[in-house]
């Protein structure tokens, strides 16, 4: 694209007057009091509108169990899959 005409400083500054970043609006979780995006599930406890949407605690525990199996495998130990679950 070819620049056909130089913009004045005023023109450039007027355009850039809308480029400032705005602070993100946050809501407070009614369950745990953490800050979360409005109309979104709380990422700290998994609550939305007063009920559990995603059981984050169970997810965290399941993830920890998976990671433990991986760590054991790296160490060269065998862990039974039933125990890992
Ligand atoms: Zn919460």
- Provide mean pLDDT across the span 26-38: 93
Q: Which residues neighbour 56 within 8 Å (Cβ) at sequence distance 6 or greater?
A: 43, 44, 45, 46
How far does the centroid of ligand 1 lie from the alpha carbon of residue 16, in Å? 37
How far does the centroid of ligand 1 lie from the alpha carbon of residue 78, in Å? 37
What residue has token string 């007063």?
Answer: 50
Q: How confident is the model at residue 79 (pLDDT cuts 50, 70, 90)?
A: low
For ion ligand 1, residues whose CB falls within 5 Å: 29, 31-32, 34, 42, 44-45, 47
How far does the centroid of ligand 1 lie from the alpha carbon of residue 65, in Å? 23
- Provide mean pLDDT across the span 62-68: 94
Residue 60 predicted with pLDDT over 60: yes
pTM metric for this prediction: 0.53
At 85 the pLDDT is 46
């Amino acid at each position: 694209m070819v620049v056909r005409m130089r913009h004045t400083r005023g023109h450039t500054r007027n355009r850039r007057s809308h480029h400032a970043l705005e602070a993100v609006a946050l809501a407070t979780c009614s369950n745990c009091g953490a800050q979360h995006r409005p109309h979104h599930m709380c990422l700290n406890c998994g609550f939305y509108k007063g009920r559990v949407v995603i059981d984050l605690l169970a997810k965290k525990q399941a993830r920890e169990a998976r990671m433990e199996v991986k760590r054991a495998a790296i160490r060269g130990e065998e862990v039974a899959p039933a125990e890992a679950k």
